[in-house]
Structure formats: C-alpha cells, structure tokens
Structure 1
C-alpha cells in the first residue's frame, strides 16, 4: 500500500507544471481552494515560525487588476486570465528562527515560504488545477490594490486556475548531474 501511495506522489510531481494559459470560463471551486490553502497552512517551517500570510484573490475584477500588475515588460501577460491569485507575504519569524538564522547565516523565512509554495502548487495539481509561481510583478501596485502594508515583503504571486492547454513534456537534467551520494 505504501509503495502505491508513493508512486502516486511521484506522478503528481511529474505532472505539475507552470501553466501559462487558463480557461477563463471556469472558476475554482471554493472547496478546492480551501484544501490548497490548508496544505499551505500545514507546511513545515523552521522552529514552527510559520512566517507567512496568504492573501487570496478570488474577486474577478481584483484578480484582473492584480494580474495586470503582475504583467510587465512583456512577461506574465497570462496572469490577468487566472481566476485566483495567492499572494505570498513574508511575516516575522519567531525569535528562535531569527536567532538560528543569524548563527547559521540563513534567512529561514525564505526557505519556509518556498516549502509552503511547493505545497500550494502540488495541492493545486492534485485538485486538477494548474498553477504558476511568479516573482516578477509590480509589488507597490499589488500592495496598493490589496491593502498589504508597505513594511511587508510580497514575495510571490501564485496564479491558479483550470489549465487551458495540454501538459508539456517535462525537461529536467539527468539524475547523475544533480544527485550524488556521500560526496559532491
């Protein structure tokens, strides 16, 4: 049973892609969105700091405005067609995580947000939805549109919706180029 469950997870990971075309006629069901957000909420974080806030945009007009603010210099034009935007905001980490980060010269909240983002994109895939993780956007404009305080860092916009195109062949480096055992 366990091997079958693991195989399912690898199928999910293999299927997940960055979708850049969304079906404008289909809305994301609230129950699917709730499960995706629960996957993000349950993500692990250094010292259980949970240094995140997810601002979920489902209002059609606002989603188009946020999508337009995500497009720029010819990039991410498709974002205006996505029915859902999950804005990933960095929140303060707890003292243990901050001190550990100072000692180890690592900013743990960025790692934590990456993990939560992976949970979101995989959960979306498991719900039959497409997603694309975007870091290029007009942060000031999106903050203005959504009321995110100026002092907060808006790190990512994860767009979610029903894919409007078929899956592409996934191209990755061969395992031996990116994996080694017991030494570099």
Structure 2
C-alpha cells in the first residue's frame, strides 16, 4: 500500500471484533515500527507497555472510559500504553531554549507510527488520551512518578470504513506565508 493510500484509509475505529485476537507477529511489527520512530536528539522518551492479556485488556479498557467517553475501549484486544520517559540532556536543553517540550512531540510521532503500522497490517486503532491514569497505573504497575499519556488500542474493526471528513486544503495549507 502506498503511503498516501495508507493515510487515507486509516481511521479511529470505535468498534472491535472481541472474538478475533491480534496475531503476535503483526503486533511485533507494529511495536518495531513504534520503536523506530524518530525523536528530538534521538531521546526516545517513551516506554510502551503492551497489554495483550484479555482480562487485563478489558480492565484497562474500562479505565479508559468515563463520562460517556471511550466505552468501546473494553472490547479492544490490545492496549499499547505510552508512558513518558525522561528525555536526554540535549533534547531537554533544546526544549528549554525553544520553549517546547519535545517529549510530547516525540510521543505524537510514535503514536502516528503505531496507528499507521496497525492500518498497514489490516488492523484498526484509536489513540486515547482520555483515561483514568491512576487506575491504569494501578492495574499495570506503572510507577506513580511516571506520566501515562496515551492508550493506543488495536484490534480488528467490527465496522466498515467511514467516509473521511477533513477541512478543505486551503483551510490547512498555505505556501510561503500564513
């Protein structure tokens, strides 16, 4: 699949086939794609905690739901929890000088790699930022001192693709000036 087609077909899936597990070899390729994601000063300021145990995945999924959000997460067979780790000194100093927190940018790049890799494997995904961080940390042993930023859920979608709705090009792209 060429990259433009891959980007066009990728969507945030909100229904998963509970009976169809993700094959370990597909998951390993997805994780390797994430591991290879670029980061500022090669800091790689992340740790991926991969949840594949069905019972734990359901508990983590329930902890990602609340106030009517993300109810579907309990049905996803795989959760990739993205934990922010310390950046290296070069990235930290550069961030101070430029008033940017590069680890957040880097984790966004990691997440994009993961969901596009999932799509290329024929899997659906959704990036969740709304979650009960404290409960998921308790369930998975993530230290209290760490920041759990994302839960990327992966599985076989239970519904067909939707029509992609995006802003018109001239609303989001300009050349040579704002």
Q: For this structure pair, what is the TM-score category when the shorter chain's length is used for normalisation?
A: over 0.9
Q: Which residue of 2 aligns with 1:27?
A: 21
Cα deviation digits, residues 66-118 of structure 1 (max 9, x gap): 00000101110000000000000000000000000000000000000000000
Separation of aligned partners in 1, 2:168 and 2:72 = 30
**Aligned-residue CA RMSD (Å):** 0.6
Q: Which structure 1 residue ranges, 5 or more long, are not aligned?
A: none
Separation of aligned partners in 1, 2:28 and 2:37 = 14
Separation of aligned partners in 2, 1:113 and 1:75 = 22
- Structure-1-length-normalised TM-score: 0.96
- Count how many residue pairs are aligned between Structure 1 and Structure 2: 178
Separation of aligned partners in 1, 2:151 and 2:18 = 18
Pick the aligned partner of 2:113 from 114, 119, 124.
119
- Structure-2-length-normalised TM-score: 0.99
3-state SS in 2 of match to 1:132:
strand
Give 4+ residue runs of structure 1 displaced > 6 Å after superposition.
Answer: none
Pick the aligned partner of 2:56 from 46, 62, 67.
62
Q: Which residue of 2 aligns with 1:106?
A: 100
Separation of aligned partners in 2, 1:80 and 1:141 = 14
Pick the aligned partner of 1:95 from 86, 89, 103.
89
